[in-house]
Structure 1
Amino acid sequence: MSGAGGKLPPPLALAPAMSDALARWLETEAATRDRSRHTIAAYQADLLAFLSFLGAHHGAPATPKSLAGLRQPEMRAFAASERARGLSARSLARRQSAVRSFLRWISDREGHDLSAALAARSPKYTRSLPRPLTPDQARQALDMVAVDHDTPWVAARDLAVMTLLWGCGLRISEALGLDGRDWPFRDALVIRGKGGRERRVPVLPVARDAVADYLAQCPWRLAPDQPLFRGVRGGRLAPGSIEASMRRARAVLGLPPTATPHALRHSFATHLLAAGGDLRTIQELLGHASLSTTQVYTGVDDAHLLAVYRAAHPRG
């Protein structure tokens, strides 16, 4: 539907009953499925997009009862609308997954038969492979970071953070979320990752030494309730500082734009896999909820083997 001048009409406000149902579903997802606040926020955005589309499509706000008439044509029209707005196939698949979860929940709650709507297929997409660094590239990047900053304690800090990303497979948010009470590191760190899931991550001596060197130079007093990694003004270090440090290192070394701090976590996984690590162990170390998420790294390893084969085989 289009209004005057070809502009889309403003989205209809949610009906109170639907707003209440959406809030209850999000609460259920957070409480029973241990979803992170970022996931809950994404689900909320997904459902608001879907319900706003239904309101505009039918000319009236959707209600829990009106969803009983939902069929595949509406689901296909929603998908076409999202694609026309520029949503990628991968993002649309995630959005449709959230919508189906909500519809299954509300069909149980309201007694609807939504099997026809739930049968709508998500778009196929090719999952992009992680872009890890080679061991030599990772070492060179860390060496460059160690001498990159004019302030020695800042250089030591950035090196310590990146060593944790590569040596322990931490997410940057996990490394920067460490507090003084987490030090000194023992043989393993207890990390609370996405969805509140806890995991134990072994700490290599090189990572422990890098953090110790940073703390010996840091001008801020270490306190249990204060951040382990500090910004130059004493607050918790922001990811942007580490990203900027890595950006300068890759510019000097000629590394690709994919050489980011998160690529060091990818490197941790692929280097373990190349050394004979099994997927289940790597899944636990990375804190992935699903093994399918970890399996993407086998594609990286296979791609590397194929590249070596093509370069070396006499008929490649």
Structure 2
Amino acid sequence: MKQLLDDFLQQLALMRSGSKATQQAYRHDITQFIDYCAKEGVSSPQDVDIYVMRGFIASLRSGKKAITNRSLARKLAALRSFYKYLLLHDHVTVNPFASLKTPKKANHLPAFLMINEIQDLLNSIIKDGEAAVRDRVMIELMYACGLRVSETAGLTIFQIDFANRLLRITGKGRKERLVPFYPSIGKQLKNYIDVARPMLLKHKKHSFVFVNMRGDQLTERGVQDILKRRALAAGLNQTLHPHMLRHSFATHLLDNGADLRTVQELLGHQHLSTTQIYTHISIDRLKQVYHEAFEKEGD
């Protein structure tokens, strides 16, 4: 079955269907299923039936690291797509995952930073070297434009329109979106590209905006490590991961009156329902609305 998986992933790459991260997740999830089948003596995709599927799901649900509904839904989506491919190419006669219900995902409110925490984080970065200049503008850009970690690491100079203050971002599913940035961050970004970035490049030639100390493209892992280190230095009381800046971007926009459709476009969400999770309001905003309402009652 692993050869069929390789063929499936190769077709995804040729069709440019899904990001590299999606393809890697598909490989991991489907390989996990293939390994389970091998342990159960199932070597052909045609031999997978409802009992094999139930056994696989049960194996994921058991043990100390029981899988969440969200992760299970992702794995089932990967297997559904894989079997759709197998069915299309006559490797199987039925897609056993097509009728399998997707578990409901728990609606966990996304963690985000308050505006004062964002300011504390940015102000804690003393721009005393090329790496510090890079870190400062990268973190602010991620927050101010709601960028994913993959979009940040993959950002090239050609995607920046300084004249119109816009980023041209290619997001999930190769969907393009235009995201504006404000003048002060434009100046910081220009200064980084003109002064600090050439020092980091060490004469290497490529168009990636954010560069590591060896002059190569900063990886997603590199971005994550910088955020953790900078958050610790700033004294934040929580671990900072890249998506928290994106969550903060969406939350602060909505708190300040942006409509849901606009936030959807800026985030690059395909479905409005994905954006709706950000309609939670910060405690400070709730207190403000509460006090304003009762002050009017007291007049």
TM-score (norm 2): 0.79
Deviations 1:104-140 (A, max 9, x none): 443454473446x543334444143221111111112
| Residue equivalent to 2:198 | 220
- Look up the match of 2:121: 141
| Secondary structure, aligned partner of 2:257 | coil
Do the aligned residues in 1 keep the contact of 2:197 with 2:211 (CA within 8 Å)?
A: no
Alpha-carbon distance in structure 2 between the residues aligned to 1:271 and 1:191: 21
Partner of 1:172: 149
Query: 1:29-44, aligned counterparts within 5 Å?
Result: 29-31=12-14, 34-44=17-27
Provide the aligned C-alpha RMSD in A: 3.4
Q: Deviations over 1:234-277 (max 9, x none)?
A: 33334556545544543354423243443222111111111222
Instruction: Give distance in 1, aligned partners of 2:129 and 2:99.
Output: 59
> Deviations along 1:209-255, whole A, 9 cap, x unmatched?
11123345427268984433333343333455654554454335442
For 1:61, the aligned partner's letter is S
Flag as ranges the 4+ runs of structure 1 deviating above 6 A. Answer: 221-224, 309-314
Q: CA–CA distance in 1 between the matches of 2:145 and 2:28?
A: 33
User: Do the aligned partners of 1:103 and 1:114 also contact (CA within 8 Å) in 2?
Assistant: yes
Report which stretch shifted further, 264-273 or 213-222.
213-222
Alpha-carbon distance in 1 for matches of 2:180, 2:285: 31
The one-letter amino acid of 1:287's match is G
More displaced 10-residue stretch of structure 1: 154-163 or 22-31 = 22-31
Contact 1:26 1:44 in 2 (8 A): yes
Change (3 A) 1:167 1:106: same
2:188 counterpart SS class: helix
Name the count of aligned residue pairs: 286
- TM-score, normalised via structure 1 length: 0.75
- Is the 1:131–1:258 contact (alpha carbons within 8 Å) kept by the matching residues of 2? no
Specify every segment of 5 or more residues in structure 1 that has no aligned partner in the other structure, as ranges: 1-13
**Match among 144, 159, 163 for residue 186 of structure 1:** 163
- Give the aligned partner of residue 9 of structure 1: none
Structure 2: which 5+ runs fail to align? 295-299
Q: Paired residue for 1:230? A: 211
- The alpha carbon displacement at 1:309 in A equals 8.9
* Identity within the alignment, %: 33
Decide whether the 8 Å contact of 1:172 with 1:261 is kept in 2: yes
| Cα distance, 1:160–1:120 mapped onto 2, change above 3 Å | same
Distance 1:54 1:184 in 2: 50
For residues 71-125 of structure 1, the C-alpha deviation after alignment (integer angstroms, 9 at most, x for no partner) is 2x3221110012225341222221122212333443454473446x543334444
Alignment of 1:44-193 (within 5 A): 44-57=27-40, 59-64=41-46, 66-67=47-48, 70-71=49-50, 73-84=51-62, 86-89=65-68, 90-110=70-90, 112-114=93-95, 118-145=98-125, 147=126, 151-182=128-159, 185-187=162-164, 188-193=166-171
Q: Which residue of 1 aligns with 2:182?
A: 204
